[in-house]
Amino acid sequence: MAIGLIIIGDEILSGKRRDQHFPKVVELLAERGLQLAWAEFVGDDRERITATLRRTFAGGDIVFSCGGIGATPDDHTRQCAAAALGRPLVMHPEGRANIEERIRETAREAGGEADMNAPDNLQRLKMAEFPEGASLIPNPYNRIAGFTVGHHHFVPGFPVMAWPMIAWVLDTHYAHLFHQEARAERALLVYGQAEAALTPLMELLQVSYPGVRVFSLPSVGDATTRRHIELGVKGNPEQVERAFAAMCAELDRVGAEYQRL
């Protein structure tokens, strides 16, 4: 199953906040022998979020969505998920109980008692309204849960909450997928070669070793490194070793200067 990531929020697209989810999700997956297949960034636009989720619900991927599940006017993800599924938003009893306990706990810490009918507390309870049939993702930070529908998992935009929630989903629902496919990567730096000149070698390796993917990352260099191309192969370990050996042999044949990484 491919794994995708949706990151929601105008503040990311405007540059007001720097996204931290993408590298962390890549890290969480790599620790479990998994990898990200795709990622999308979407602003706080109901029609666009709904269209994105309608498309991804129709696929078979595991999808993590970060952001927009609060109860303020710029939070739309819960409503958009329901619209994309054609289901109503309904109050989740356990989710509501968690929020009520959090409200009471916060009031006690402030030395008072919670008024559950206060407008602000009634507004907070909306964070337990999820698409019909959703299950909860526990939030270890403040107990205000995220939710799961099928293989779509919705968590808050706050990293301190989102990351342990994503880890919990992976460990609870997808442990059977961990480390199923062995992967390896080998690369080197090639100096004094144009990328176009290396393309025939890359194409030959891709055809000859179908279990690997060839990649090239050109660099103009910096104060400590000359202009170079990072050339490598990744995928099935056995084929990676064979493809890498063939790559080095061809570079030796043409007299290319390179440095193994």
Q: What's the pTM?
A: 0.89
Three-state SS at 93 = helix
- Determine whether 65 is exposed, middle or buried from the number of CB atoms within 10 Å of its CB (0-12, 13-18, 19+): buried
Q: What contacts 24+ positions apart, CB below 8 Å, involve 246-251?
A: 246/205, 246/208, 246/209, 247/188, 247/201, 247/205, 248/188, 250/201, 250/204, 251/188, 251/190, 251/201
- Segment 101-116, tens digit of pLDDT: 999 999 999 999 999 9
The mean per-residue pLDDT over the stretch 53-77 comes to 96
Identify the pLDDT of residue 221. Answer: 86
| Residue 113 structure tokens | 């008692």
**How far is residue 217's CA from residue 97's CA, in Å, rounded to a whole number?**
51
- Segment 9-35, tens digit of pLDDT: 999 999 999 999 999 999 999 999 999
Please give the mean pLDDT across all residues of the chain. 96
Backbone angles phi, psi at 39, to 5 degrees: -145, 145
**How far is residue 129's CA from residue 87's CA, in Å, rounded to a whole number?**
12
**How far is residue 212's CA from residue 23's CA, in Å, rounded to a whole number?**
23
Alpha helices, DSSP H, located in 174-235? 195-208
Identify the pLDDT of residue 1. Answer: 82
- Segment 157-203, tens digit of pLDDT: 999 999 999 999 999 999 999 999 889 999 999 999 999 999 999 99
Tally the residues of the chain: 261
Identify the pLDDT of residue 225. Answer: 86
**How far is residue 66's CA from residue 89's CA, in Å, rounded to a whole number?**
19
**Tokens 């279990």, residue?**
211
66 Cβ contact list (under 8 Å, min separation 6): 5, 6, 7, 8, 21, 155, 156, 157, 162
Identify the pLDDT of residue 129. Answer: 98
| Residue 236 structure tokens | 């099935």
% of the chain residues with pLDDT over 70? 100
Domains and CATH numbers, the chain: 3-177 (3.40.980.10), 184-260 (3.30.70.600)
Q: Which of 248, 261, 236 is nearest to 198 (CA)?
A: 248
Q: Which of 152, 129, 136 is nearest to 71 (CA)?
A: 129
